[in-house]
Each structure stands twice: as structure tokens, then as C-alpha cells.
Structure 1
Amino acid sequence: MSLSKSLRFSWCLLLSFLLLGCGEHGRDHRPPQGPLHVDVLTLAPTTLRLTRELPGRVAAFKQAEVRPQVTGILQSRLYKEGSQVKAGDVLYQIDPSSYQSTVKSAQAQLAKAKASEASSKKTADRYAQLLKKKLTSQQNYDDADAAYQEAKAEVAIRQADLDYANLELSYTQIKAPISGQVGLSQVSEGSLLTAQQASYLTTIIQTSNVYIDMQQSSLALSKIKQTFAGLDKKPKDIPISIILEDGTTYDQTAYLEFSSTKVSNSTGTVTLRAIVSNPQNRLLDGMYVRAHIALPEARDYLVVPQSVVVRSQSGQPFIFTVDQNNKTVKKSVVLGDEVDNGWIVEEGLVAGEKVVISNLSNVKSDIEVVIDSGSDDAQATPAPQSAPKSAPAVEE
């Protein structure tokens, strides 16, 4: 009985080895796998006028902090908060009583000095006549003339005192230094104001025109300057479109004013400033916007879909192309601006090359492929009119 079991076990073991050998033999004799099937895109130039997008902040064209120039008790506020005022409009009235008294005192001192001057002049004239007749000494005439000159100087001093007193009296009316929209009042009637105090009474912002301050890296600015090099356009001829916080386009066109000559030590950026009309006060001081600067002219670019760009472990982008022998070629590329769902290829490809756009997970370099279908660049990637994904701008 045990012998029969042993024989059956031996036959089973032998049969397993035979089946295993047949399986290995079957795998070794499988027919070789055929070429990989792919779709390709034939590169053709696309004409685009690119733009550069920059984050920006609205800055008031003019802004003034109103402070008192004399000390006194605030009597009244003479403007409506948030209203438009003109330069010279009276905003606050300080109690003028003490300054009016100073003016009257200065007027009296001036009158006294003038009377003294008149008396001294008569004395000097009288001594001059006596000296001609040799009825007095030269010393007496010199003393009388010196007293007259001293009286004249005293009149000038008292006139200056009166002018200063009138100036201080005028400062009791705190006036708008510029035209614009006046803000909230930081003080109320009865408050003690001091000359040149640190805290301001209110602010005036002029927003009929506003600045758009943008930040751009120094490297990107250098590249943009190269783009504009040789053109006749000045900074004020370069239009900039403004995108508001809700995504709508502002209905006024801004124009580049200047770019700073200093690079920020902390951020490595340069400040660009544009100016734009703001007739309806839609742009408020401090508002965040996006600025689009159009490059000077439309040019031909090679654009590939983003999906065909493969990156190495180090992040280096490359693209697979198919050569004349239907073999794949791995090419490193330099990518530029993003255009909708595509990338502009600055280096690495030329027009007419066939870029692999399908089955990329199985594509390797230098393998034979079969092209199932092909398309040109205009069909695969719609040609937009701008590419707002970088940052700009120029200086004359």
C-alpha cells in the first residue's frame, strides 16, 4: 500500500516538471512584439503677440496728510468727509483769538517804530542843513544820521514781526494743500492741536489719475529690454491693460511711465510704474490688480501641447520626436511662455519636426514606431493672441 502511494507521488512530480518545461519553452518561442503605435504632431510656426502679466498695486497720483502748523483749540470742521475739495479750501478752523491779539500788538509796534523813524529823519535832515552852513559839528550830524538809520531798521523788524503774526493767524485756517478726495477726520471740535504734530488730521487723495506699481525680477526685465531694443517706442508709448480683482478688464488703458534703476535687496525685483486715467474713481489706493504688458510686435513661435512635455527626475524638460526612419529621438528643450494649454519652445526643436503626442508612457529613445495619425500645429494647438504668464516691462 505504501509502495503504490510512493509511485503515484513520483509520477505527479515528474508530470509537474514536464509541464513547467513546456511553459518555459512556450515563452521562449513567443513571436517578437511589433513596433509601438503613436500619433504625432508636425510642428509649424504660430504667429503670436505675447504679453507679460505682472501683479500690481494702485497708488494715488498725489496724497497729502493734513497737519496743523500752529497750536490752538479746534473750533470747527468745515468740510464733508469723503467729498472733493480744491487746493486752498478751508478744512478746519482753529480758535484765532490769541493770534489776532499778536497781530494787533505787532501793528502797534510797527506804528511806534514808524513814528520814531519819522522823527529821526527830521532830526537828521535838520543837522544836514546846519552842517552845510557850518553851524554844527560833523559828529552831531553823524549821531543824528545813525539814529535815523537805526529807526529805519527798527521799522523793518516790526514789519517782519507783523508779517509773521499775520502768517500764524492765517494758519488758524487749515487749508487743503492739494485738490482731491478728503478722507475721514481724525479729530473733533474742542481738540487741542499742536504745531507740526505727528498725527495727521485727515488725508487728501488725488485719484483722477492713478499709478500702477508693479514688481518684476531684474533678470526678466533685462530680457524684456532686449526685446524692445532697437525699437522707436518710448516707455509712454507702451500700452498696458489692467485686470481688476473680479477678472474684468478696466476700460482705460495705462501707459508705462518708468522703471526703477534700483533692485530690491530683499526680493531682487525692480519697480515698474504705469499711469492710468481714473475718471469714475473705480481704482482705489492700495487695490490689487494685474497688469498685462504687450510685447512690441507679433512673432512666429513653436508651440507644443503641455501634455507632450516629459520631465526627468531633475526636472529637465524633454520631448520625443520621430525621425525619417520612424525611430524616436529624445530631445532636451528650453520652454518659454505658457500659451493656453501649450508651451512655447525656445530651443531644442525646429519647424517640421514630428512630435510624439500619444502613448508617451511606453515611448523610449531610439525605438521604432508606427505613426497612426498626424496633425499640424495649427490644428493641435489653437493660436491665441496673447500669453499672460510671465512678467515685464521696459525702459526707454
Structure 2
Amino acid sequence: MNTSSVMPYPARYWHMLADGRMQCDLCPRDCHLHEGQRGACFVRQRQGDQMILTTYGRSSGFCIDPIEKKPLNQFYPGSSVFSFGTAGCNLTCKFCQNWDISKSRDMDRLMDQASPEAIANAAVQHGCKSVAFTYNDPVIFAEYAMDVADACHARGVQTVAVTAGYMHDQPRRDFYAKMDAANVDLKAFTEDFYFKLTSAHLQPVLDTLSYLQHDTDVWLEITTLLIPGYNDSEAELSALCQWIKTELGPDVPLHFSAFHPDHKMPDVPATPPATLVRARQTALKAGLNYVYTGNVHNLEGDTTFCPACQTPLIERDWYLIKRYRLDAHGHCPDCGAAIAGRFDARCGHFGRQRIPIHMGGSTA
């Protein structure tokens, strides 16, 4: 594909400053741009008196995944999701697990091109329940993601944001008005961690979580990547879980996932499985109803239990659903308790497949 054929796309969320610079208003980084400069995300650029989104219509790749891989365990379990991302990121996480995509400044890495309508059509063609904006943070390609969401909804396809949740209020409202579900990375529960390891701040992420839970109908799940010695202390985990229960409620699913040495932290050891098990127990003791472990093989940590009677309701082996006992209304068949989430009458059976898709430069 000739990437130079992609026309510049006008971006939203900016204003001019008195000194002639342009301020990007998408996220709390508030980048100030001279002519030709790009923001810290590298994909939002000033051209004259407008801002453009350089990655509109371009992707680092498309793939069909199990929804549980996002991870979303209580959003149409077992269904398939049409996943894609672009390049760049508005955080600078030293522990990034997708750094080759999210930190890329090489636009030629974006080999696939597709219009919003083409993505929606492909999702329908492949029988996907939803489309996920993932691999890198969709906040930075918000205009593209929102247009894709409109096209998906027109075809009856749901939309999912996998994000760090780092954005300003107005774009947050616009963006999540188009989303059906979100998994937000709550990377730690201290400002020190956010500032030193991500070049960001904690409070805007907490604001996004509170907004999603209290002011939208978006189904919300949270992921925290546990890094040994950085954010896995009992005190921090207890504080994080108490905040979730108090501010968001006990029914928001929480996923603890395992770090592996990567990017700028190659000498930090991988997260021991025992740390995830301990974190899960801490969260359950704090009163959270749905707590999972990720990136490790742990059948109990993969399972959805009834919070009322503790019956195993959705038993998983990695991303494969082995047993599904919810009734057609999403209730426990033993005690009748309603299970938080979005459910069909029957679960999907996509399993643990991962199917790469080439869009072939499709624009329609």
C-alpha cells in the first residue's frame, strides 16, 4: 500500500494560544505545537491553522480475538471481537507490553488501510459480535474510532475501547458516547508510579473510571498489570480495591495481569503467579465480586463465580469456556442472583483462536 495516498484528516480538540502555538485539548498532556510539530502521541500534528490525525484510516493490523483477551469476561462471553489499532500513544510507559506498536514513529508500519464502513462490514462478514480499538490507545485516534463506532452500530456491531483512560472531559464524553464496553488500565494506585513510569498522572484516569461507571451505560472492566516491586504491595493493592468498591461499586470486574520483562524494564523479573493469586484474594476480601487473574494459567482466576452463592457460573481454561451456567436472563440458576454484565441467551464458542485478517487496503 502507498501510505502517502491517505489524505490528512482534520482532528478535533484543539485551540490556538495567544503566542501563536496550538494546544491539543484531547488529553492532559496539553501539547503546545508550532507549525509542523506533532504531539507526544506522535499522531496528532499541526498543519497551518488546523490539527490533523495522521493515522486516520490506517492500522497496524487487524485480528479476530476472543473477547476475553481484551480482557472482558462479562461482555458477551465466548464471542469473537474484530480487533485493530494504529500507532503511537499518549503515555510513555516504561513497561509497555506492546511497545513496538504503541511507541512506533514509523508510519510505514501501518500496512492496512480501511474505512470505517469497511471495518464494520468485515466484522459482520466474520461473525464478530464487536469491534475493539486496542493494541495502542484509541484515545489518540479518537476521531477514527468514533467514526468506526458509528459504522459498526449501523450494522448492529458493538464497540469496545481498550485504553489507559487518559483524556480530558469533553473528548471523554464524545468518545464514550460511541462505546459499548471498555477495559481501562488502572496501572497503579500512586501518583509517583504514574509520574515516573508513564509520564502521566493518576487522577485523570480515576476521573475516567468514575465517569464511565456513573454517567454512561458503557460496560466497564479494569485491568492492573502487577510489576514486582513497583505496584504490587499489599498496602497499594488494598487501597486500589477499596477505591474501586467505594467509588465504582463491587460489581466492576477487576483483572490482575502478569508483567513480563520488556521495553525499558528488561531487568525486572516477571510477575510470579502467586502474586496474582494473592492480589485476587485481597480484592475479594475487600468486597469486589468479580476478580480475575491474567497471563497465567489459573482456572479459579479465570472463572466467574456467583457473588451470592459462590457457584462457578462461567468456567474458563485460558480463553476457552468449558462450562456456562447462566440462564437466558444472566442469572445464577442456583440462587437466582443477577450477574453483572452483558449476556446473550447462550455464550459464544469462539474459544482461544487468534485469526489475523488482511483488509487489502479496503476503503469501502
Q: TM-score range by the shorter chain?
A: under 0.3
The higher relative CO (CA closer than 8 Å, separation ≥ 6) is in 1
Per the normalisation by structure 1, the TM-score is 0.17
- When Rg is computed on C-alpha atoms for both structures, the one with the higher figure is 1
* Structure 1 or 2: more strand by fraction: 1
